[in-house]
Amino acid sequence: MAGCKEATGLILCRFRRMLPPLAAACNLGAICLATPFRLRNSPSVAFALVAAALALLTMAARSPGRSPAERRAAGGIHSVMRYPRHAAAALTVIALAVHGGAMWFLVLTIVGAAAALWLMIPVEERLLERKYGDDFLAWRDATGAIWPRFAGYTPPKVNKTVRQALGEQLAPMTVVTLCFMVTDVARSLRVHFIVGDFLTLVPLLALLLAVAAARLTSRGASL
């Protein structure tokens, strides 16, 4: 049982970036099986979750480092939180389920995201402890896994602006936006066209354009 849990955690860690597309594919199946509902303020909830995920990814990019000691020295999000990218992936798949509109699938997604974190984090913790020893233990004691401990926060000490870090998120944001667009098409085919969906897609597209602009301007500044 323990070996199966560890193997599953390793697979999830390795393919973490594939979770949003996989969630979108499952979302399509859920929409076909059940008439989508409309939560009150669900477009705002979905967009807020994606924006929070993007903020976590951007902050993680401003706090680089491979070893726990390097990440603690870099400051920023890694001085209060060990796995911001895991948290961002979980927020994104939940946002897709909110946008998809199948209540049973939303509940299943929340449970699945919690289970994925429960599987991934202990496996990664053991690997890091085995590799870095006391450095990792000190980092673990000073930070939360996916819930930040703000008492130990230190500002980022790397020479990377928010614009540069935001621009690095162009590829994941493009994938997420495409997932939302495919989900929206499926909703429109399943039920009558819902104008409220634009309340999610328009801000999301605007956010994608802002990330693309940050990428282009940061490249231009580096030339």
At 124-176, the pLDDT tens digits run 898 889 889 999 999 999 899 999 988 888 888 877 788 888 888 888 889 88
Residue 213: pLDDT over 50:
yes
Across 91-117, average pLDDT:
87
More confident residue, 39 or 215: 215
pLDDT tens-digit map of 44-80: 888 899 999 999 999 988 887 788 888 888 888 998 9
pLDDT score for 195: 45
Across 200-211, average pLDDT:
79
Q: How far is CA 123 from CA 52, 64, 81, 89, 212, in A?
A: 25, 21, 17, 17, 34
Sequence-ordered list of residues with C-beta below 8 angstroms from that of 21, at least 6 positions apart, any chain: 175, 179
How much of the chain is in helix, strand and coil states, percent to nearest 5?
A: 80, 0, 20
Q: What average pLDDT does the structure give for the chain?
A: 81
CB 163 within 8 A of CB 214: yes
Residue 201: pLDDT over 80:
no
Q: pLDDT exceeding 90 applies to what percent of the chain?
A: 15
CA–CA dist 184, 197 (Å, integer):
7
The number of residues in the chain equals 223
Is residue 43 exposed (0-12), middle (13-18) or buried (19+ Cβ within 10 Å)?
Answer: buried
**If we measure between CA atoms, which residue out of 174, 77, 71, 179 comes closest to residue 128?**
71
More confident residue, 114 or 103: 114
Residue 191: pLDDT over 80:
no
pLDDT score for 51: 92
pLDDT score for 68: 84
Residue 196: pLDDT over 50:
no
Residue 223: pLDDT over 50:
no
For residue 34, give the 3-state DSSP assignment. coil
- What single-letter amino acid sits at 139? W
pLDDT score for 200: 63
Residue 9: pLDDT over 50:
yes
- DSSP line for 51-118: HHHHHHHHHHHTS--SSHHHHHHH-GGGGTBS-HHHHHHHHHHHHHHHHH--HHHHHHHHHHHHHHHH
The model's pTM: 0.85
What is the band of 219 on the pLDDT scale with cuts at 50, 70, 90? Answer: low
**If we measure between CA atoms, which residue out of 171, 200, 169, 170 comes closest to residue 183?**
200
For residue 144, give the 3-state DSSP assignment. strand
Nearest-10 crossing angle of helices 103-132, 84-100: 170
